[in-house]
Amino acid sequence: MDNNDFPILHQKVNDEDLVYLDNAATSQKPKAVIEAMEKFYYEDNANVHRGVHTLAERSTEMFEAAREKIRAFINAKSAKEIIYTKGTTDSLNMVAQSYGENIHEGDEIVISILEHHSNLIPWQQLAIKKNAKLKYINLTDDGELDMKQAKELITDKTKIVSVTQVSNVLGVINPVKKLAELAHKHGAVMVVDGAQSTPHMPVDVQDLDCDFFAFSGHKMLSETGIGVLYGKEDLLNAMTPVEYGGEMIEFVKKYDTTWNELPWKFEAGTPNIAGAISLGYAIDYLNTIGMQKIADYEHQIVSYVMPKLLAIDDLEVYGPKDPDKHTAVISFNLKGLHPHDLATGLDMEGVAVRAGHHCAQPLMTYLGLSATARASFYFYNSLEDADKLVDAIIATKEFFKDGTI
């Protein structure tokens, strides 16, 4: 696919052409989104809702139009089910803090060992607060979620199941639809962390039948600081707000307050107006390509690069090796070299990857690791970028072959 819409990609880093492979952390932004936001600030910027002047009405119209684009993008039933948040982390914390009030002593919460801290700590702390029990679904030998164990762990005591749709470390795609069926069979709700899936593949929340679904805009071409919480309308209506003030208010008396209707009930204060609008434009851009086309293209990249990576001596690749079970997130280590040194070496070759525990320390402990290097592709990356990654790893290996810096 053409990357000419992404000016940032056409530069040199350390005298080498930039190969940006840190898309799991954040994506780059196309000119169409950048220019649309520039136009918004030049022509339409005003606070949303309640204002009757022209700029306020234009800004509000764009803000709510973006909500409808998001609804259609993930196939929610109603725009009332689309809550603007600061990001995936904020969305998941909102569910834990609000819906979490339904958790009582002795109840059980089931998550997976794959989870990003954002989908682990809120449930961990809720379990501590409520004296509930937190359970972990582990992995099979090839790095997939152990569904046999999941069936044993999810019981009538389970009240919440929360699992990422795609691991930000192993790139494995989890069967969240099957987990939702299992959760509902036992009367539990299903929460899905969609941060790594929504930018890369078609998402249909009604088909998944999840109760809550969270994702971030900055991983899918929009500005930072904007995210979405999808929740089934009946559940959101029954939940209490976690923040107060601004548009979430219906009427305030001296000793009592009533809340606004959905979705504004959960949107306290002045929202990230520009962020929401930018997410709407980002969705427009993604729709012009097509999410299935993006998923197919990234599968092509993984199918191309995985055998090349596996052929490098002393390179350990984690998670499934089958491209059909993998997204374009690939974690690896080079024997005898710290991941940070590996990432530094790759940067010297112009290849940007991430190194560390990737906010998944329990997974690292489970795998017996302290950290990994991680390359993550997006649709604007090419097969040539994949080759440059392989070549850079080999060059770095040669540079550090005696194991010293």
Backbone angles phi, psi at 154, to 5 degrees: -85, 110
Catalytic residue among 9, 348, 359, 395: 359
Strand-pairing partners, residue 252, are 257
Structure-block tokens of residue 404:
């010293």
DSSP string across 239-259: SPPSS-SGGGEEEE-SS-EEE
Please choose, from the candidates 290, 349, 52, 70, the residue with its C-alpha nearest in 3D space to the C-alpha of residue 194.
Answer: 70
359 is catalytic: yes
**Distance (Å, rounded) from C-alpha 236 to C-alpha 239?**
5
Strands 257-259 and 249-252: antiparallel
How far is CA 1 from each of CA 200, 280, 379, rounded to the nearest angstrom? 14, 22, 6
Is the four-CA dihedral 264, 265, 270, 274 of positive or negative sign?
A: negative
DSSP string across 242-308: SS-SGGGEEEE-SS-EEEPPTTGGG--SS--HHHHHHHHHHHHHHHHH-HHHHHHHHHHHHHHHHHH
Residues forming the active site = 359
